[in-house]
Structure 1
Amino acid sequence: MEQIRFGIIGCGRIANRHAEHISNNGKLVAVCDIVEEKADTLGGKYNAAVYYSIEELIENHKDDIDVLAICSPNGLHAQHSIQGLNGGYHVLCEKPMAINVHDCGEMIKTAEAMNKRLFAIKQNRFNPPVAEVKKLIDQGILGKIYSVQLSCFWNRNFDYYKNSWKGTKDLDGGTLYTQFSHFVDLLYWMIGDVKSAKGMSNNFAHQGVIEFEDTGVVALEFYNGAIGTINYTVNSYGQNMEGSLTIFAEKGTVKIGGQYLNEMEYQNIEGYKIENLPEGNSANNYGKYTGSMSNHDKVYENLIDVLKNGSSINTSSFEGLKTVEIIDKIYRSFE
C-alpha cells in the first residue's frame, strides 16, 4: 500500500488536529461539513476537495480514499461511521465512539460485515506516566489492585457551550462522554471491566445552558474485585485544575496527576522506582479552553502501522464499546 489517503467528516476544532497529522502521515483528499464555511476553510488549507454532505463525498471518492476520520458531533459518530464503513472505507472515529451501547454494537457489526477496520481514539493511553503504570500492572509489579480514585476537575464555562451542539442530550450526550470518556477508558484499560456503578449528579452552574449534569460522584465495583470512585466536575473555577488517577495496590501506591494525567505525582512501590519518563505532548489547546493531552500523532502512527504492516491495533472498537458501556452504567445509576 502506498501513501494512505484520508477524508474528514466534520471540520470543527478537532478536525484541524486530524488534518495536521494526516498531512504528516498520508494525504488528505477530501473534507466535509454541513457548515460550508468550516469545510471551505479546512479544505482550502490542505488543498482537499470540499463537500457539504457525507453522501456526496462518499459518492465521489469510491476509489481514492482509504480511511474516513469521523470528527462530527458525538451523537452523529455512529451514523457517519456506519456510512463510511458501508462506503468501503476504514474508519477512525473520534471519542466517544457513540453515545449509546446499541450504536457501538451496530458500528462493530458493520465493520465486520464490510471487513474494514474501525479505529477508536484513546489518546490518554499514550501519556508517558499512564503507559508506564499500565506496564507495571501488566508485569505484576504492583500486585493485586485494591482500589482506585479518578478525579476530573475541569472548567467549561458558558462560552464553551454557547451556540454549539455541546451541552445537548442528542449530540453531546453528557459530561462523561465529551469531557471525560478518555479517563473512563483508562479505568477499563488499567483496572478492568466495571461490574456495577452507583452515583449522584447535579447541574449546579449551567442551568439553561446544558441538558445534563455538570458534576457527578460515582462508586464503582470492578469484576476483579477492586473498588473505586470517580469525582468529576466542569465547575473548577476559572480554569482546569486536575485530571488524576490514584491506584492503591498490594505492592505499591501511585498517583498520576497534573491537569491531564500527564505527571507522576506520587509513587511508593516495593523494590521499584519509576524514573526518566519522557516528556509528554502538551494539552490540546482550543483557545479559550484546553482538553486532554494531544497524542493524536501516536494514534495515526498506529493506524498507518496497522494498515500497512498488519500490526496490532492500539485502540480497538471493542474497547471503545466498553468505555460507552461503563458510562451507560453510570448514567443509568443517576436516574
Structure 2
Amino acid sequence: MIHVAIIGAGAISPAHIQAYLQFPEQCRIVALCDIYPEKARQKADQFQLDAEVFADYTELLQRSDIDLVSVCTPPYTHADTAIAFLDAGKHVIVEKPMASSLEECDRMNEAAERNGKILSVVAQNRFTSPMMKLKHVLDTKLMGPIVHAQIDSYWWRGHSYYDLWWRGTWEKEGGGCTLNHAVHHIDLFQWMNGMPAEITAVMSNTSHDNAEVEDISIAIARYENGALAQLTSSVVHHGQEQQLIFQGKHARVSAPWKVAASSSKANGFPEQDEELEAKIQKVYDEQPELSHEGHRGQIQDVLNAIEQGSSALVDGIQGRRTLELITAIYQSASTGQSVKLPLGPESPFYTRQGILQNATSFYEKKTSVENFSDNTITSGGNS
C-alpha cells in the first residue's frame, strides 16, 4: 500500500484527492498540509479522509509511513518542497508548472536522480484518449514531415483573477498565461513535435492592470529543418477555444480531431487524398480509449511506476523541456531578440533572480486577497 501526503489544499488539490481515491487497492491518503490548516481540514472532511492535518510540510519529512507526495502549492514553492521530500526518500508528483526557473528544475532533477526516486510533473492533458491517439498517429509519420504547427491556448479570466495574493507577480507566480495556462498545450506540443531550435516572441498585458505579468503572448518556433510553429497563450479569449494543429507534407491532423489530406493535380492545385485520410483515420480509431484520464490517468501511471520500479511517463526531464520553451518565450519577448535553444546557465532567465531582474513588468500589483469565497476552477475549452 502506497501512503500519500498532499501538500497544498487549494483549488487543484481535489483533482489529486479524487484521483487517489480511485485506486484504494494501491494507495491511501494519510496526510494533508496547508499553511492555512483549516483548508486542509475542510478537504479532509469533504472527502471523508482518515488523514492527519498539518500546517508545515517539514513535519512530514521524517515520517516513514509516507511514500509519495503531491505538491499542489504555488509555483515558487515547488522546488524547495519537492527537493526536501526527494531527499527524505519520498516519490514526488508536482503540479504544473514544474518550478519558477530552469535552475530550480535542474536541482529538482538532480535530487530525484541522487535519491533514486520518481519525480513526475503534472501534465494531465497527455492522459486523455484524444491526445494519446493523436500522439500515436503523429508517431506513425503518415502525414510526412511536420512543416507547420499551430497551438492556440485560449482562456479567459476576469480582472479579479489576479487579486489572489500569489498570482500576477513574477516573484510568486513566475509568469502569466504562458506559464500557468498554456503550459498544458506547450507541454503537448513539445511531447508531440519535439523541441525547436529557436523562439521569437512578443507579449502584452491588455486587460489586467492589477498584474505584473502578461495576459497574452505570441511566439514563433523554428526547427532546424525549417519547419515553423506558432504558439498563442492567452487569458483574454472569450469562448476558450483551444486547438493543436499539425500540418505535414501529406496531411494534417489536429485536436479536436480532424484529418485532411491532399494530393497534387498536374497543375499543382490540391485534390482530396481520400485513401490517406482513411488510413490515418483507421490508425486513430484503432487506438483504445483510456480507462482513466486526466489527473487520474497520470496518478495511476505514477502508482504503477512505483510498484513496478519503472519510469513515469512524465518525469522531471519532460517537465523541464516544457519550462524551457516557456522561458525562451519570456526571454525573447522581454529582450526583443530571438532565442536559441537549448537554454542553460548562460541564459539571463536561467534563475528566478534573473527572471525578476529581466522580465518585462507591465503593471504594479496593488490588490491582494488571501482567499476567494468561490474556489472552483474551470478546465478550458474543447481540445
Q: Shift of the alpha carbon at 1:35?
A: 1.1
Return the TM-score normalized by structure 1: 0.87
> Counterparts of 1:40 and 1:205 in 2: how far apart (Å)?
36
Higher strand share: 1
Kindly report which structure 2 residues correspond to 1:228-247, keeping only aligned pairs within 5 A, or say none.
228-237=229-238, 240-247=239-246
Are 2:187 and 1:185 equivalent residues in the alignment? yes
Q: 1:267 to 1:129 in 2, by over 3 A?
A: farther
* Larger radius of gyration between Structure 1 and Structure 2: 2
Deviations 1:285-327 (A, max 9, x none): xxxxxxxxx6011101111111112344211110001001111
Are 2:200 and 1:201 equivalent residues in the alignment? no
Which SS does the other structure have where 1:314 is aligned? coil
Residue 213 of structure 1 aligns with an amino acid whose one-letter code is: E
| CA RMSD after TM alignment | 2.0
Which SS does the other structure have where 1:13 is aligned? coil
2:7 corresponding residue in structure 1: 9
Deviations 1:82-136 (A, max 9, x none): 1111121010111111121100000000111111111111111123222222112
| 77-86 vs 162-171, greater mean Cα deviation | 162-171
Return the TM-score normalized by structure 2: 0.77
Q: Shift of the alpha carbon at 1:164?
A: 3.4
Aligned residues of 2:259 and 2:280 also touching (Cα < 8 A): no
1:20 corresponding residue in structure 2: 18
Deviations 1:253-305 (A, max 9, x none): 1221xxxxxx31454372524264777899xxxxxxxxxxx601110111111
> Counterparts of 2:36 and 2:258 in 1: how far apart (Å)?
43
Which SS does the other structure have where 2:257 is aligned? strand
Kindly report which structure 2 residues correspond to 1:163-174, keeping only aligned pairs within 5 A, or say none.
163-174=164-175
> Counterparts of 1:281 and 1:14 in 2: how far apart (Å)?
22
Aligned residues of 2:137 and 2:280 also touching (Cα < 8 A): no
2:92 corresponding residue in structure 1: 91
Aligned residues of 1:4 and 1:66 also touching (Cα < 8 A): yes
Q: Shift of the alpha carbon at 1:211?
A: 1.2
Are 2:108 and 1:110 equivalent residues in the alignment? no
Are 2:33 and 1:37 equivalent residues in the alignment? no
% identity of equivalent residues: 30
2:376 corresponding residue in structure 1: none
Deviations 1:26-79 (A, max 9, x none): 1001011001221221233312111000111224x2x10100100000111111
Aligned residues of 1:192 and 1:223 also touching (Cα < 8 A): no
Are 2:55 and 1:52 equivalent residues in the alignment? yes
Which SS does the other structure have where 1:50 is aligned? strand
Q: Shift of the alpha carbon at 1:224?
A: 4.9
1:124 corresponding residue in structure 2: 125
Length, aligned pairs only: 311
Q: Which has the higher contact order (CA 8 A, sep 6+)?
A: 2
> Counterparts of 1:40 and 1:325 in 2: how far apart (Å)?
36
Q: Shift of the alpha carbon at 1:165?
A: 1.4
> Counterparts of 2:78 and 2:92 in 1: how far apart (Å)?
10
Q: Name structure 1 gaps, 5 residues minimum.
A: 257-262, 283-293
Kindly report which structure 2 residues correspond to 1:161-310, keeping only aligned pairs within 5 A, or say none.
161-174=162-175, 175-207=177-209, 209-237=210-238, 240-256=239-255, 263-268=256-261, 270-271=276-277, 272-274=279-281, 276=285, 295-310=294-309
Which SS does the other structure have where 2:296 is aligned? helix
Residue 86 of structure 1 aligns with an amino acid whose one-letter code is: D
Which SS does the other structure have where 1:190 is aligned? helix
Aligned residues of 1:74 and 1:178 also touching (Cα < 8 A): no
| 179-188 vs 159-168, greater mean Cα deviation | 159-168
Which SS does the other structure have where 2:254 is aligned? strand
Q: Name structure 2 gaps, 5 residues minimum.
A: 262-272, 335-383
Q: Shift of the alpha carbon at 1:180?
A: 1.1
